[in-house]
Amino acid sequence: MASDDDRSVTDYTLNQVQLERIEKILDSDLVRSGINSVLMIDMAGNIIAKGDNGKCNHDVYALAALASANFAAVDTMANIVGEDFSLLFHKGEHESIHFSKIWNEFLLISLFGKDVSLGLLRLKIAEAIEKIKSVWH
């Protein structure tokens, strides 16, 4: 198999303006809708962009590493049984975590409390993802 190390540095490039746009979307669409913290990460666990309400000080780098691992493990389990599980969501007493894929390259990890309904959250996330995708065009 041909190796493509030469291109492995980043398959995607985002310039400063694009990153600013993405963080703006995260802030105006998600944080202002009541989400505590949102991370856009790549599948290797790197943080691409983030937004938060300033009230939570979770270890976001550890969260990004764990979230990408969690997603990859679930994805591999799905493959083993011949499926593609698209939805991943963890519900806690006070804090819940929602995962969404952006293409096959990125994950949007949203942390939210009880004050946000899951239905509204899903809607807002879907809207934000569409806007993020358009940043590439």
Partner 1 sequence: MADNYDDDISLTDYTLGQDQLEKIENILTKDLVDSGVHSVLLIDMAGNIIAKGDSGRYEHDLYSLAALASANFAAVDTMAKIVGEDEFSLLFHKGENESIHFSKVHSEFLLITIFGKEISLGLLRLKVAEAIEKIKSVWSL
Partner 2 sequence: MAFVNLKNKEVQAKVVFYGPGRGGKTTNLEYIYNKFRDRIKSDMVSIKTHGDRTLFFDFLPFDIGKIMGYDVKIQLYTVPGQVKYNATRRLVLKGVDGMVFVADSMVEQREKNLLSLKNLQENLTIYKKSIFKIPLVLQYNKRDLEKQGIPVMPLDMMEKDLNSQLKVPYFEASALAGDNVINTLKKIISLTMASLQNVLK
Q: Which positions lie near partner 1, rule CB under 8 A? A: 56, 58-59, 62-63, 66-67, 69-70, 73-74, 76-78, 80-85, 87-97, 111
Q: Which does 115 bind (CB under 5 to 8 A by kind): partner 1, partner 2, none?
A: none
Torsions phi, psi for 57 (to 5 deg):
-120, 60
Please name which of 110, 120, 125 lies closest in space to residue 39, comparing C-alpha atoms: 110
Amino acid at 80: I
For residue 8, state whether it binds partner 2 (rule: CB under 8 A).
Answer: yes
What residues from 47 to 76 belong to the interface with partner 2 (CB under 8 A)?
A: 47-48, 59, 61-62, 65-66, 68-69, 72-73, 76
User: What is d(CA 98, CA 78) in angstroms, rounded to the nearest whole number?
Assistant: 18
DSSP E strands, the chain? 37-42, 47-52, 88-90, 96-102, 106-112
For residue 102, state whether it binds partner 2 (rule: CB under 8 A).
Answer: no
Q: Which is nearer to partner 1, 61 or 103 (CB)?
A: 61
Q: Which does 61 bind (CB under 5 to 8 A by kind): partner 1, partner 2, none?
A: partner 2
Q: Which is nearer to partner 2, 29 or 75 (CB)?
A: 75
Q: Which is nearer to partner 1, 17 or 80 (CB)?
A: 80
Torsions phi, psi for 62 (to 5 deg):
-65, -40
* DSSP tag of 26: I
